[in-house]
Amino acid sequence: MEIDRRAFVASLGGATASSLMSDEAKADALEEFMSARLNETVAAQAGAAGQSFPSTAELEAQIETRPLRRGVGNLFAARTGNVKRLPPMPSKRLVDFFTYRFAGTSNHCLQSATKALRSGMTEEVVLACLLHDVVQEIIKVDHGWWGAQLFEPYVSEKTAFAIRYHQALRFYADPANGYEYPDLYRRMFGHDYRPEPYIEATYQMVRKHKWYGEARMVTVNDLYAFDPNAQVSLDVFVDVIGRHFKQPKEGLGFDNSPVAHMWRSIAYPDHPL
Ligand SMILES: [Fe+2]
Ligand SMILES: [Fe+2]
């Protein structure tokens, strides 16, 4: 497979972020990058061949064909082969988690936040976009709720709200605000998928909430396809993080907050218990 070097460096979070990574981390990231490109190609070929989306029954039938459940976090399972040794973290600041632990989600989140920044979103929405999916490093099931919980002690209520509810809003089109139901979900959940009642009830609540717009904008700026040519960098967001993310002086995971253990689980996913 031919590698677009610029796209690869961009996927690492830009030249600065990549210069901070160990060779091993870069090798892992390259593998991740190539596998994402491959998935894209396979999906595009399937689309071109007019292949239809799977049904929920077909997806359910696949459960027992895998060693892992689909909701497992990126850090805890390799897409192919074995997991790799993780580099130690120089500190427990948010930017270090981006560089050393969010390898599977940072490019997607940076692309979303970049889109939000360019479209003139408020900094609270830009931050929500930057953080909206990174909890998928530990768990994917109900990632909106998990993600909001992970960040709640450190961001505004509005940002946490947007992170929590983007998950439910994704399933409901809002063409007036520029959001159509993405094909990606027909592929992931099945063409005949109907959200569970708790998702529907959450949507109805959020639809009437004064912060509906904030949560909706996370879905509008979300990316539903991997763009290998996107130029993204965490550098652009350092000031937004500085203004809106309350970095604990003890480091994430060591501030005795109710979510400290979640950050430690991301820092040390190889601990057996
Ligand atoms: Fe998400
Ligand atoms: Fe997303």
The answer to whether residue 95 scores a pLDDT higher than 60 is yes
Ligand nearest to the backbone CA of 146: 1
Ligand nearest to the backbone CA of 105: 2
How much is the pTM?
A: 0.83
The answer to whether residue 225 scores a pLDDT higher than 90 is no
Name residues with Cβ closer than 5 Å to ligand 2, which is an ion.
Answer: 133, 222
The rounded Å distance from CA 104 to ligand 2 centre is 12
Q: Predicted confidence band at 88 (pLDDT cuts at 50, 70, 90)?
A: very high
The rounded Å distance from CA 112 to ligand 2 centre is 7
Name residues with Cβ closer than 5 Å to ligand 1, which is an ion.
Answer: 133
pLDDT in tens, 99-114: 999 999 999 999 999 9
Give the burial string for 27-65 (b: 16+ CB within 10 Å, else e): ebbebbbeebbeeeeebeeeeeeeeebbeeeebeeeeee
Average model confidence (pLDDT) across the chain: 88
More confident residue, 205 or 36: 205
More confident residue, 45 or 208: 208
The rounded Å distance from CA 27 to ligand 2 centre is 24
Q: Predicted confidence band at 229 (pLDDT cuts at 50, 70, 90)?
A: confident
The answer to whether residue 42 scores a pLDDT higher than 50 is no
The rounded Å distance from CA 108 to ligand 1 centre is 10
Mean pLDDT of 54-59: 96
pLDDT in tens, 137-196: 999 999 999 999 999 999 999 999 999 999 999 999 999 999 999 999 999 999 999 999
Mean pLDDT of 239-243: 98
The rounded Å distance from CA 167 to ligand 1 centre is 5
Q: Predicted confidence band at 122 (pLDDT cuts at 50, 70, 90)?
A: very high
Mean pLDDT of 258-272: 98
The answer to whether residue 27 scores a pLDDT higher than 80 is no
The rounded Å distance from CA 18 to ligand 2 centre is 22
pLDDT in tens, 4-21: 565 555 555 555 555 556
The 3 state secondary structure assigned to the chain is CCCCHHHHHHHCCCHHHHHCCCHHHHHHHHHHHHHHHHHHHHHHHHHHCCCCCCCHHHHHHCHHHCCCCCCECHHHCCCCCCCCCCCCCCCCCHHHHHHHCCCCCHHHHHHHHHHHHHCCCCHHHHHHHHHCCHHHHCECCCHHHHHHHHHCCCCCHHHHHHHHHHHHHCCCCEHHHCECCCHHHHHHHCCCCCCCHHHHHHHHHHHCCCCHHHHHHHHHHCCCCCCCCCCCCHHHHHHHHHHHCCCCCCCCCCCCCCCHHHHHHHHCCCCCC
Mean pLDDT of 28-32: 57
The rounded Å distance from CA 143 to ligand 2 centre is 10
The rounded Å distance from CA 256 to ligand 2 centre is 29
The rounded Å distance from CA 108 to ligand 2 centre is 7
Q: Which pLDDT belongs to residue 65?
A: 95
The rounded Å distance from CA 144 to ligand 1 centre is 6
Q: Which pLDDT belongs to residue 30?
A: 59
Tell me which of 49-58, 74-83, 122-131, 198-207 is least confident: 49-58
Q: Which pLDDT belongs to residue 234?
A: 96
